[in-house]
């Protein structure tokens, strides 16, 4: 029996490239509103960040939806873990070591501290490179995938909608907590309230598979719903950040509406996914198409590497421009292109998959 290989979904390659760039722009924006000790910088540049980067908050959820789209079914648990975990965990550990020495060569840590940081990698990525939190979350999803897979394969449309409804309600909790700090069983000694098991990033993977099973064919309502979700979600996300600049002192409270586990960010993510999922590329031999596919394939390496490149470009370009409206996308784009080139070059090395993913 001949197995027919499914045709490539180029729209998801495009989504992955967009998400990868958005991650870099988010991290570029942090220079312009995050002060020392997490104090909010209420400046004109911070306002620009609010307008620009509120939509970019969909970057991580998009990565989860794309990963979740291809995650199931899990037919062989051993093979699944060998392929998925090794290609994520090994590059992660290697880049943790690279970042430890990066801090050493930048003069931020002595050799003894550097070696201790490397030994701490099994605890929590060794050095304070915050963007690496994503890898732990992704590995957690992979660990749960074999358990979830049978339900994903057999779940009815109504069953998945029931889960997604409760997941959506759980994503309103950050706002409910403004009125009721403790709800549905929460106490200082209980951090697992009623909808705890429906919260978190797992819902994005379920959402991707719900769309895959029941709404993958292009329909007019996809575009109407997509635009509506993006506009509504963006309005909430941007308003919360811009209003918070006037009232909040610390970044952790300023970013309330920027949370990946908020209903407004989930709305924007679903909207963009609906708009782009059915983009058709007629000529797959075009250089641009091949470039999109290549950048998509190297997006994990770009994600791991980009902070060092970003810091260099920010130090070099920031003083040449007055407004973040220009320098933020410029620095982000230069970082994105340069990091891709670096990962592309590294990909030619022997056993490069252990470094670039």
Q: How far is CA 159 from CA 152, 156, 203, 319, in A?
A: 10, 5, 13, 54
Q: Which two tokens stand for residue 267?
A: 């709305």
Please give the pLDDT value at position 252: 93
Domain segments of the chain as ranges: 10-356
The mean pLDDT of 159-173, rounded to a whole number, is 97
For the ranges 105-109, 204-208, 233-237, which has the lowest average pLDDT?
105-109
Residue 6 vs residue 319, higher pLDDT: 319
Residues 56-81: tens digit of each pLDDT: 999 999 999 999 999 999 999 999 99
**Of the candidates 172, 170, 173, 177, the residue with the CA atom closest to the CA atom of residue 199:** 170
Mean pLDDT of the chain: 92
CA distance 204 to 210: 10
Residues forming a β-bridge with 34: 40
The mean pLDDT of 253-267, rounded to a whole number, is 97
pLDDT over threshold 90, residue 130? no
Which parts of the chain fold into alpha helices (H)? 10-29, 44-53, 59-71, 77-105, 111-119, 121-124, 133-154, 157-170, 173-179, 202-214, 220-247, 251-254, 263-276, 287-297, 299-317, 324-346, 353-356
Please give the pLDDT value at position 280: 82
Residues 89-120: tens digit of each pLDDT: 999 999 999 999 998 998 888 899 889 888 88
**Residue 240 near residue 256 (C-beta atoms within 8 A):** yes
Residues forming a β-bridge with 250: 39
Please give the pLDDT value at position 6: 54
Predicted confidence band of residue 271 (pLDDT cuts 50, 70, 90): very high
Please give the pLDDT value at position 124: 83
Alpha-carbon torsion 352, 353, 354, 356, what sign? positive
The mean pLDDT of 325-347, rounded to a whole number, is 97
Residues 17-32: tens digit of each pLDDT: 999 999 999 999 999 9
Predicted confidence band of residue 1 (pLDDT cuts 50, 70, 90): very low
Residues 303-329: tens digit of each pLDDT: 999 999 999 999 999 999 999 999 999
pLDDT over threshold 80, residue 3? no
The mean pLDDT of 251-272, rounded to a whole number, is 97
């Amino acid at each position: 029996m001949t197995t027919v290989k499914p045709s490539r979904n180029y729209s998801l390659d495009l989504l992955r490239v967009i998400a990868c760039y958005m991650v870099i722009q988010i991290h570029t924006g942090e220079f312009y509103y995050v002060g020392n000790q997490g104090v909010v910088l209420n400046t004109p540049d911070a306002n620009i960040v609010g307008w620009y980067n509120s939509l970019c908050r969909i970057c991580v959820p998009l990565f989860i939806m794309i990963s979740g789209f291809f995650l199931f079914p899990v037919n062989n648990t051993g093979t699944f873990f060998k392929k998925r975990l090794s290609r994520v965990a090994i590059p992660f550990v290697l880049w943790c070591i690279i970042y430890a020495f990066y801090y050493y060569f930048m003069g931020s840590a002595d050799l003894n501290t550097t070696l201790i940081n490397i030994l701490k990698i099994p605890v929590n990525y060794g050095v304070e490179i915050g963007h690496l939190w994503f890898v732990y979350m992704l590995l957690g999803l992979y660990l749960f995938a074999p358990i979830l897979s049978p339900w994903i394969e057999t779940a009815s449309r109504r069953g998945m909608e029931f889960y997604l409804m409760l997941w959506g309600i759980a994503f309103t909790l950050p706002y409910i907590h403004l009125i009721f700090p403790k709800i549905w069983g929460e106490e200082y000694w209980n951090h697992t309230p009623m909808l705890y098991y429906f919260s978190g990033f797992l819902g994005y993977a379920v959402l991707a598979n719900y769309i895959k099973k029941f709404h993958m064919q292009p329909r007019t309502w996809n575009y109407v719903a997509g635009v509506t979700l993006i506009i509504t979600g963006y309005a909430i996300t941007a308003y919360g950040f811009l209003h918070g600049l006037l009232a909040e002192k610390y970044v952790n409270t300023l970013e309330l509406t920027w949370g990946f586990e908020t209903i407004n960010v989930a709305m924007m993510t679903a909207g963009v996914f609906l708009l782009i999922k059915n983009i058709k590329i007629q000529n797959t031999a075009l250089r641009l198409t091949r470039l999109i596919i290549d950048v998509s394939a190297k997006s994990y390496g770009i994600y791991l590497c980009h902070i060092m490149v970003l810091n260099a470009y920010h130090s070099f370009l920031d003083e040449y421009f007055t407004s973040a409206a220009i320098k933020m996308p410029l620095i982000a784009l230069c970082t994105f292109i340069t990091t891709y080139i670096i990962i592309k070059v590294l990909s030619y090395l022997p056993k490069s998959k252990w470094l670039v993913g």
